[in-house]
Amino acid sequence: MIRRLPTLLSAALGLLVLALLSGGVGAAEPKTLRIGLQKSSTLISLLRQDGSLEKALEPLGVTVSWHEFTSGLPIMEALNAGQIDLSADVADTVPIFAQAAQARITYVAEEAASPTAQAILVAADSPIKSVADLKGRKVAVTKGAGSHYLLLAALAGESLPFKAINPAYLTPADGRAALASGNVDAWVAWDPFLSAAQQQTGARVLRDGTGLSLYKRYYLASDTYAGRRPDVLAVVVAKLGETGAWVKANPAEAARRLDLLWKLDEAVVLQANERRSYKVDLVRRDGLREQQTIADAFRAEGLLPRAVDASALGLWEPPTR
């Protein structure tokens, strides 16, 4: 018995370590919610500005840290790498690319369709009059963004494959600069960048998402965080819903607050907010049909490394008491 004690003790310690690593007995609950956001993350940005999310999470003993990114794909990379716990709203295409990269993520909530909040832009004096005229032209687009799918769908509507144009994969700021300088012939943008370019440079909408792309935006969490802190996510979703309703009910005040964050004219913000639904709801399995259409379109163009079942990601549900 004495000689077996070290073996039994080692085995017991090993089981304890496994339990801790798997979130079992004794595993500490995360006390900081790490949120990834980008400039167009309207509702999360407003919550960050007024501190109301932190206040709502105080009863749970949870604080918030904020991590800003230039676009949605880097947010997904950080989410999958365990560097953040929750992403602010990202375009509908972003989870598709993340899923193709085998990211371990869960849909938490969605903002309802806003098809006019993204569009293909050309300079005011451009000779380009239709999507068909983009053939052989250089088009700036942010890779993996909702605008990327809009471009695919618009070209397909003219029976043109993606290879019919010369894509320039640029961030929104670089895309706008390239269009203004004439280094690209068109730029696919989303709000508030879209409204800013229209009002400040006179850029002309060639085609928006109407009839082509619903343009929903999704909030996602890591699988691990969604499983361990559904209570925290319930508070976040409730605050997002309240904030979305407030923006629509108070457009002028919302524009003033966002003007301070975005450094844009209030008129630009008002136009951008008119185009966004900001209606927050839970994600339903049957509501992911266009996600599958997006995945199939990117796969057909060789832009995804593997086929994706868009309905295969986890769906967060509010905890039941």
Please tell me the least confidently modeled range out of 14-18, 163-167, 180-184. Answer: 14-18
Contact present, 32 and 228 (Cβ < 8 Å): no
- pLDDT of res. 182: 97
Pick from 144, 146, 45, 37: nearest CA to 88? 37
- In the 8-state DSSP scheme, what is residue 221? E
- pLDDT of res. 284: 95
Tell which phi-psi region holds residue 26, choosing left (phi > 0), alpha (psi between -120 and 50) or beta: left
Q: What is the pLDDT of residues 212-266, one digit of tens each?
A: 999 999 999 999 999 999 999 999 999 999 999 999 999 999 999 999 888 889 9
- pLDDT of res. 40: 79
Please check the confidence at residue 14 and state whether its pLDDT lies above 60.
Answer: no
Q: What is the pLDDT of residues 262-317, one digit of tens each?
A: 888 999 999 999 999 999 999 999 999 999 999 999 999 888 999 999 999 999 99
User: What is the distance of C-alpha 155 from the center of its chain?
Assistant: 23
Give the span between the Cα atoms of 153 and 167, in whole angstroms.
14
Please check the confidence at residue 180 and state whether its pLDDT lies above 50.
Answer: yes
A 10 A CB-CB count for 315 gives 15
- pLDDT of res. 28: 59
What's the rounded mean pLDDT across residues 128-138? 98
CATH number, domain 115-208, options 3.10.20.90, 3.40.190.10, 2.40.240.20, 3.40.50.12280:
3.40.190.10
Q: What is the DSSP string of 255-278?
A: HHHHHHHH---HHHHHHHHHH---
Q: Could you give the residue range(s) of every CATH 3.40.190.10 domain in the chain?
A: 29-114+216-313, 115-208
Residue at token pair 């607050």: 257
Please check the confidence at residue 169 and state whether its pLDDT lies above 90.
Answer: yes
- pLDDT of res. 321: 65
> Half-sphere exposure (CA, 13 Å, Cβ side) for 42?
35
How does residue 29 score in pLDDT terms, banded at 50, 70 and 90?
confident
Structural fold of domain 29-114+216-313: D-Maltodextrin-Binding Protein; domain 2 (3.40.190)
